């Protein structure tokens, strides 16, 4: 197998292929993570203007971050290059995004402080525990995640949904739903028409 590059790696994880422990993909992921950790350390090492924060997020993600995006540091990401932020996204203090498996956040979404989004599972077989299974998180438009929400790999949260503080989201959330709890359960529907979003 030839040497892995970023495009190859992203193709690999975005199709949900296993990252085998000790493989070339596994080594590439760890090496790429060092660059992400360098950028995150710079982001979190002192006061940064909103423009400086967006510039560092652009370095982290490898793509332009829209001027309407606001992130309050500290912010943590172990990979960065599989994170897509829409316009008018707000991410509050102390959020942790494990984006290796892919995180997409839609326009106008609010992420409460201390929230965690994870996109990698380990194999359940103890002999294969170092293997990782990537699964993208997709958060729709105008979603509101309360403080300290955890979203696990493979979850999609529909447009206009609200996730209550402290919830652990283990399965998809429909558009316009309000969910809360551990694991998150439907509380009610908001009644808003998100087809106009």
- Show which residues are catalytic: 122
115 with 97: CB under 8 angstroms?
Answer: no
Across-strand partners of 137? 103
Q: What is the DSSP string of 26-73?
A: HHHHHHHHHHHHHHHHHHTSS---HHHHHHHHHHHHTS---TT-EE-S
DSSP 19: B
Please give the Cα distance from 69 to 86 (Å, whole number).
8
Contacts of 117 (CB under 8 A, 6+ apart): 95, 96, 97, 98, 99, 103, 137, 150, 151
Question: What is the distance of C-alpha 87 from the center of its chain?
Answer: 15
Please give the Cα distance from 187 to 185 (Å, whole number).
6
Structure tokens at 115: 């929230």
């Amino acid at each position: 197998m030839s040497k892995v590059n970023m495009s190859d790696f992203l193709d690999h994880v975005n199709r949900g292929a296993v990252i085998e422990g000790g493989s070339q993909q596994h080594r590439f992921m760890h090496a790429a993570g060092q660059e992400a950790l360098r950028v995150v350390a710079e982001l979190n090492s002192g006061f940064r203007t909103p423009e400086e924060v967006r510039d560092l997020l652009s370095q982290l993600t490898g793509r332009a971050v829209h001027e309407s995006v606001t992130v309050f540091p500290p912010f943590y990401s172990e990979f960065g290059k599989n994170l897509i932020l829409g316009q008018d996204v707000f991410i509050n203090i102390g959020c942790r995004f494990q984006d290796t498996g892919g995180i997409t956040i839609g326009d106008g979404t609010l992420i409460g402080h201390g929230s965690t989004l994870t996109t990698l599972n380990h194999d359940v077989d103890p002999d294969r525990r170092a293997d990782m299974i990537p699964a993208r998180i997709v958060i729709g438009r105008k979603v509101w995640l309360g403080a300290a929400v955890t979203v696990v790999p493979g979850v999609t949260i529909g447009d206009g949904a609200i996730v209550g503080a402290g919830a652990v989201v283990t399965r998809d959330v429909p558009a316009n739903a309000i969910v809360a709890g551990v694991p998150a359960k439907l509380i009610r529907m908001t009644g808003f028409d998100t087809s106009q979003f």
